[in-house]
Amino acid sequence: MGITHPFPPFIRPDSRVLVLGSFPSVRSRAEGFYYGHPQNRFWQVLAALLKEEVPGDTAAKTRLLEKHRIALWDVVASCEIIGSSDQSIEKAAINPIAEVIKGHDIRAILLNGGTAAKLYEKRASPKPNVPALALPSTSAANAAWQLPRLIGAWAVITYWLAQ
């Protein structure tokens, strides 16, 4: 039985960067917002790079995103998945990314992890006419990347936010 993405993209007219994950984790689906698992380092990485406090709840997360013009969504609209494992994703339907960002000020797409990058590159169609960069996953499952190394890799977000 497939699961449909349970919440809409977080995007504002002035969003400059779109971060695309693969599909929300079980915890994120339960919380109704992106990167809800406390072990995921996404919010720590953003806070460090943007010189902000790590947001603790959805309201604080949305304020951080709005302030810094960051949009969030996922590549996958629906799929079969076991728990939160990206490796288990099957029968993925892809979100209409180009259609959703049309009319917004998106200057780059940052792909959070290998699964998001692979699905975007192979299956997203049409692709928006903006650069797309694959970055290491902020998931705790990506244990090879400790927080300082992730922050270094994700620092590219500051370049695109300044454009």
Overall pTM surpassing 0.75 (yes/no): yes
Q: Which domains does the chain possess?
A: 3-161 (3.40.470.10)
pLDDT digits (tens, 9 = 90+) for 101-157: 999 999 999 999 999 999 999 999 999 999 999 999 999 999 999 999 999 999 999
Q: What stretches of the chain adopt beta strand conformation (E)? A: 3-4, 17-21, 70-74, 76-80, 90-94, 108-112, 132-135
Q: How many residues does the chain have?
A: 163
**Residue showing tokens 């890799």:** 153
The model's pLDDT over 11-50, given as tens digits with 9 standing for 90+, comes to 999 999 999 999 999 999 999 999 999 999 999 999 999 9
